[in-house]
Each structure stands twice: as C-alpha cells, then as structure tokens.
Amino acid sequence: MQPHATKITELYASLTRGEDLAALGEILVEGWVRTNRDSGSIGFISLNDGTCFKCVQVVYDDKLANHDVVAHLLTGAAIGVKGHIVLTPEMKQPFELRANEIVVIGEVEGDYPLQKKRHSFEYLREIAYLRPRTNTFAALYRVRSVLALGIHEFFQSRGFVYVHTPEITGNDAEGAGQTFTITTLDDKGKPSETDFYGRKASLTVSGQLHVEPFALAFHDVYTFGPTFRAEKSNTTRHASEFWMIEPEIAFADLEDDMVLMEECIKFCISYVLEKCPDEMDFFEKMIAPGLMDKLHAVLDRPFTKMEYTEGIEILKKAVQNGVKFENKKIEWGMDLQSEHERYLTEEVAKGPLFLINYPKDIKAFYMKENDDGKTVAACDLLVPGEGEIIGGSEREARYDVLRAKMEKQGNVEGLEWYLNLRKWGGCPHSGFGIGFDRLLMYLTGVANIRDTEPYPRTFGGLKY
C-alpha cells in the first residue's frame, strides 16, 4: 500500500487555520506537473493534484538521485514528491515543498496536446477529455459541481422535495416537436406498437409535466436532471443535452414564481462567490473582467419587470432610432430572438429582466391564459450577455380551458392523466426551468455552452 499522500487542499486549509505546516515533517504529495523550470542547481515545479485550484511549488536541487530525469519532466507528468514544507510568506506563494525525493509515476510523451502556453477554447474543445487539466476548465467544472450542490441546498433548505422525473417519456412536454425518439427497432418502417414500450418513446424535453403532480401532493418540489432537445440551433447557447432545474410550487401565481426565481439566482451567485473564491477570482482576471462587479450589482438590487407588450414597443422605437437587428421586423406576437432579448436586458434594464405576459400563440399549451384572452402568465428571465436563462409560468389550472387548448393542438391522447390533475384537487400552481449550463455561463462569464459541459452534445457535434 502507498504511504498516505497529503492533498494540496489540506495544506492550504491548515494554513488558513493557522497551523504550522513546517511541523508536519516529511510529507508526500502526488499530482501532475503544470510547469517545470530547471536552472542547473535549482529547479521549480508547479504541482497540481486536482484537489483545489491552487498549485504547490516544489523546489528541487541537483542532489536528487534522479535529477536529470526530474529536470526534464514535461507538463502533464504524474509524480510523487516527498519533502518538507517551508513557509515563504514574503513570496508569491505562502509556502513551498522542498523535495527530498521525486518519483515519476506517469511520464508524458512528447505529443501531449497541452503545453505551458495558453490554448484557445476552440482547440481545447477538440480535446475535451484533457481540458479538465487546464486552469480554465478545472475552475469551470469545480464551480459546476459546487453549483449543483448549491441548487440542492437552496431548494432543500426551503423544504422542497426532490423528484426524479423520468428521462424516457411518452410525451413532448413543450409541444414543440423537438424530441429525440428512442427505439429498439432497426427497421424504422415498423409501427411503434411493436417497439420496446409498445408505443412511441422519446427522451424528455422537460420534467415539468411529471413534476406537477408531485407539487399537488408535496406543495413545493423540484426536479434537476438531464434534458434533451433536437433543436437544430447552432449557437453558443444551445446544446441538445443540457441540465435543467425545474421547481414547481402549489397555491402560487406568477408573482410568487418570480420571487422564487430571483431568490434562487441570487442564492446561486452568493454560493459560488463564497465556496469558490479562487475559481471566481480566476474568471474575473482571465476570462471575464468585470464579472465580480456584475455579480455584486445583481445581488444588490431587485430584478426589473417588463411586460412583453412594452418590450415590443421599446424594440420598435429602437429600430426607429437606428438600432440594427438582424431580424428587423418587430411586431406584437413575434417570438423574440436572442438579439432582442439582449437589447432589452443589456441596454434597457442593464441587468436581469423578467419579461412577462407573452402572446399565448408563441408559448406552451400548459400556461395560464390571462383575462385579456391574448396573453399567458409566462415569464422569461433574460440576462445580459446571454438572453433567456429561465422560462416559467403559472399553469392553466382550469380543466375546460386547458382541455380545449390541448384538443386544438391534438395532444390530449396520452396526457389525460395531466388533465385529471385539474379535476381532482387542482389549485393554482407555478414553476419554471433554469438552464443549468446557461446559469453556469452567466456566473463564470464563459461565453459558450460547449465549454460549460464536460462533454457537450450539440447539433452536428458528438465527440467522445
């Protein structure tokens, strides 16, 4: 058995607790070489073991038995270092590890695609399996992990019940025809009655329809899992597999829904700032200067609310005043493109913006129709740099109204159970969906969804 290695995160944690690292005696640290520079009598290795964002500086000299090998270690090599901690408060790093012995555990061959220099996001996307070893992606995927726990903490601390809604489903929850069919039939001509489930099956586009019944039993619930959409959108914000958080609350209208959205986003910001200070600092310095100010500003003030109708008026005026949109024709009833959303959130609200009460014809069937007969009690949360990161609504709780709408769209079959909820103890209820990957983009300033997902799946893109 190997002697117990000390994790770099433990070293920094003891330092923070004010413990004397020099008194640890000889320790073993195992990790990967980030950089190595040797100047003959003395050499320095920046060693990262993945347990925290920070590296430890290893200092070695020519007395090492294998000095020649160590001096030529390349970026990426796996090594074990036995040595003593020396405190260096006057230097950039608070301590260093003076090596007595360095064992090479895994060498790196010369064709290793990661080098000391900065690589582009595009290049790193091609080697997705290696990019967690870079600073940017180490920071990003740790924040992703921490944020996932933050989401659970937010909802669980408020008494929400976590529901595992299925990934395989018989319905298209959004009614937008963007489902991936799953089948065991290799001959596509065969009727789906002969398939695995005896009916057409697909990957879920949203857990909402399955989570609503739980809200009508537990009051406050959420689902959080992978979601799949066959959207042929080749943008920086669309993935065909992404994670979605979908809370659903009973006895609640759109206003209650928006309160929860705002609290949730603010909680997530505070959470990552508190739990991942090194990573967030890195994003500020290397990826998105101004990120910290932006996030603190979001925490400090209430989100803006705007009616869809008012948004359209503002966009029309903007066009009259010479603002150039690719989609120039602005009219009531249109679905907003991301350029329009961004104009409203960046130029008008200058921060997160709730756009509410959309035309019913461009929104999903389950949304509550407003008294004007034209709009639904829907709400998108738009943020600068991205556009929509949340979509939500109050649900249509009236049986007759919902049934008529579903009949018109021809999707009653298979969803009778969903309609029954309106007959048996129905109540006003609301919910929303946060795109987890888009939220991560917002919190880190990373501009492409392909970078926030460990192995992105996008239109025409399936590698690894």
Residues that bind ligand 4AD (CB under 6 A): 173-174, 206, 208, 229, 231, 238-239, 242, 244, 246, 388-393, 431-433, 435, 437-438, 449
CB under 5 A: which stretch of 70-78, 151-159, 289-297, 389-397 binds Mg ion?
389-397
Judge whether 311 and 359 are in contact, CB under 8 Å: no
Q: How many helices (H) and strands (E) does the chain have?
A: 14, 18
Kindly state the smallest distance separating residue 392's Cβ from Mg ion, in Å.
9
C-beta closer to Mg ion: residue 212 or 341: 341
> Quick one: what does residue 390 bind among ligand 4AD, Mg ion, none, with the CB cut-off 5 to 8 Å set by partner type?
ligand 4AD
Q: Which residue of 43, 391, 426, 456 would you call a contact of Mg ion, by CB under 5 A?
A: 391
Return the half-sphere exposure (C-beta side, CA atoms, 13 A cut-off) of residue 155: 22
> Quick one: what does residue 443 bind among Mg ion, ligand 4AD, none, with the CB cut-off 5 to 8 Å set by partner type?
none
> Quick one: what does residue 279 bind among ligand 4AD, Mg ion, none, with the CB cut-off 5 to 8 Å set by partner type?
none
Residue 34: phi and psi, rounded to 5, are -90, -50
Kindly state the smallest distance separating residue 111's Cβ from ligand 4AD, in Å.
34
Kindly state the smallest distance separating residue 322's Cβ from ligand 4AD, in Å.
30
CA distance 216 to 377: 19
Q: DSSP labels for 435-455?
A: EHHHHHHHHH----HHHHSSS
Judge whether 114 and 101 are in contact, CB under 8 Å: no
* Beta-strand relationship, 161-162 and 220-228: parallel
Judge whether 11 and 85 are in contact, CB under 8 Å: yes
Kindly state the smallest distance separating residue 391's Cβ from Mg ion, in Å.
3
> Quick one: what does residue 174 bind among Mg ion, ligand 4AD, none, with the CB cut-off 5 to 8 Å set by partner type?
ligand 4AD
| Residues sharing a CB contact under 8 Å with residue 61, sequence separation 6 or more, in sequence order | 41, 42, 43, 67
C-beta closer to ligand 4AD: residue 57 or 345: 345
- Neighbour-count burial of 407, counting CB atoms closer than 10 A to its CB (0-12 exposed, 13-18 middle, 19+ buried): exposed
Which of 380, 376, 425, 379 has the alpha carbon at shortest distance from 402? 376
CA distance 42 to 352: 52
Kindly state the smallest distance separating residue 257's Cβ from ligand 4AD, in Å.
9
CA distance 191 to 200: 9
C-beta closer to Mg ion: residue 31 or 311: 311
C-beta closer to Mg ion: residue 46 or 206: 206
> Quick one: what does residue 60 bind among Mg ion, ligand 4AD, none, with the CB cut-off 5 to 8 Å set by partner type?
none
C-beta closer to ligand 4AD: residue 133 or 229: 229
> Quick one: what does residue 38 bind among Mg ion, ligand 4AD, none, with the CB cut-off 5 to 8 Å set by partner type?
none
Kindly state the smallest distance separating residue 247's Cβ from ligand 4AD, in Å.
8
Kindly state the smallest distance separating residue 272's Cβ from Mg ion, in Å.
24
C-beta closer to Mg ion: residue 391 or 431: 391
CA distance 10 to 52: 9
Give contact residues for Mg ion (rule: CB under 5 A): 391
